[in-house]
Structure 1
Amino acid sequence: MKILLIEDDPSVCSMVNKGLKENDFDVTVGMTGQQGIDLSSQAKFDLIILDIMLPDINGLEVCREIRKSDTRIPILFLTALGSAENVVLGLETGADDYLTKPFKFIELLARIRSLLRRAENQETVVTNTHQYTFDDLTLDDHTKKVTRADESISLTSTEYRLLLMFMKNPKKVLSRTSMLDEVWGITFDLGTNVVDVYVNYLRKKIERVNKKRIIHTVIGMGYVLRADEDS
């Protein structure tokens, strides 16, 4: 497995590089945002670890730039910016996970393995599933096209994974914990409202086409995809 580490702190680079190589990962290091962008376009990586506070280009912009050409590669932010707002902003930018410094290498390793497993599962999903329909909403998992009332809806990679989970589980109440696990590959409470934020993003996009609500809040339990008449 090939990992791209975009980090300007020599001590963090040395520690992460050493630990990953001891676990049989092939690591390439970029010390600036531009180096990271260039490296990501020149070679195929299985995962990217990305700092936010880089000396030239902010890591959020680096993430956005990488996502323009690759919407599927797992991206993990590794940064000292640990507020709830920073976590949500990082995930909204297109990252798949967010780990704050200081950190224990064993946790970083667990996050990496979780993201890689999820990426492998997504490849299987693309091969073995096709089209999901609920009410007037349609999701084609081959073309990654989402429509409602025959009008195309543009989603980020995280919003798409969240909608896919709903479409695979219609009328089933999904807990926030299960959504964190399935969509973000996180098996513990982030201590933020990231799930609620993303459900709200998703609702706004699909309700621009048809104001009829189909993603409902189940107080104290989570969310469910259902038509009004099913409630």
Structure 2
Amino acid sequence: MRVLILEDDVLMAELLETILAGLYARLDANIVSTKAQALAALDQNTYQLLICDWNLPDGSGLEVVRAIRKQDNKLPVLMISGRTDRESVLAAAHYGIRGFISKPFKVETVRDRLKSIFPPESDLEAANRDLEQMLADACEGHFQLPTTLEASELLALLERPEALDVAQLTERWRDETGLTARLLDVANRSSFRRTGEPVTTLAGAIKVIGTEMSLNLALGLALDTTHALSDSQLREQAEAHQRQGEAVGREASAMFRTLGLGNGVNAYTAGLLSRVGELVVLSVLQQFLDGGGTLDRDTITQTLAAWSQPCGNRQKVQWRLPLDLRELIGAIHRLPRGTSHRERVVMRVAALQVEGAGASGECLRLMRFAGLESRAESSVGDNGE
């Protein structure tokens, strides 16, 4: 599903992409912010849908639609605008626009309109495809992880967004891997780096984006039907990886505080995101099943072993996670030879302890290096050494 999103408000464009990804399993979205960029993109590529803002920095979205209609009368167009006057609506209708949504909009409204314009079941690209190719595509593209949040809860919160502050939302969402990744992705777009520093925590991302837009992005994920795990075996595996990531985050966060390396929030974020590769692979396997494929336990195990690392590494880049955070995540799985950064060493120690290898030679050596002598001695004593 190839979509061109023409929207100069970056937050709004990211929200639209989130909604689209929740409807179409193989979304390929191109976001542009000016009339000139849109015309160039349309000249170079073929799209199945155009979502278009009316007011642009260099003209009007309607001018883009006029240019399209000279060559293509069938491309579905969804116009989103703050203009709701009768003349604007009639002008849009004259050019065959399939939907007109006024700002500010509700996520459910856009989602329903998209479903009527381009039914998700008509997007057959994900069906009966080669599993290896699906995994390769997931590694290269922008993949959206599901969330366990309830849409009804988020809708209720959106009724009174001013009643929630950053700290309250952070506490509610601290264990939501998919949402944390998405909010960090949005917050770390270059246009939001107002201080020149990357955002590395959930609280920082919510602060940059704002509570209301964060709630809308969360609702977009909660309504996602294309990445949800309906197969019990895949869901159980995902839950196990989620628990492991949370446990590593908690352990590393406590060690950071013990060693005076900060409040440990970055460490918790790194732990939470340390299993994104596995979660992406499991979600692709679900899409493969939904498309008519079959899986056995050995295939699932082998696929996770082969694809989790490349998918995870690629998604961390695609999601625009800061380099320091990616290095903390990487250290959970493997420390590069000669590493002397205490923060990364602690991440690896936390992972080994959660894996039950706290008394191993590697773990004890790293604990002493990091300054966790008392914990190292405790680990030896607990194992009778």
| Larger strand fraction of residues | 1
Compute the TM-score of the two structures, normalised by the length of structure 1: 0.48
Please state which structure has a larger fraction of its residues in helix. 2
Q: Which has the larger radius of gyration?
A: 2
Q: TM-score, normalised by structure 2?
A: 0.30
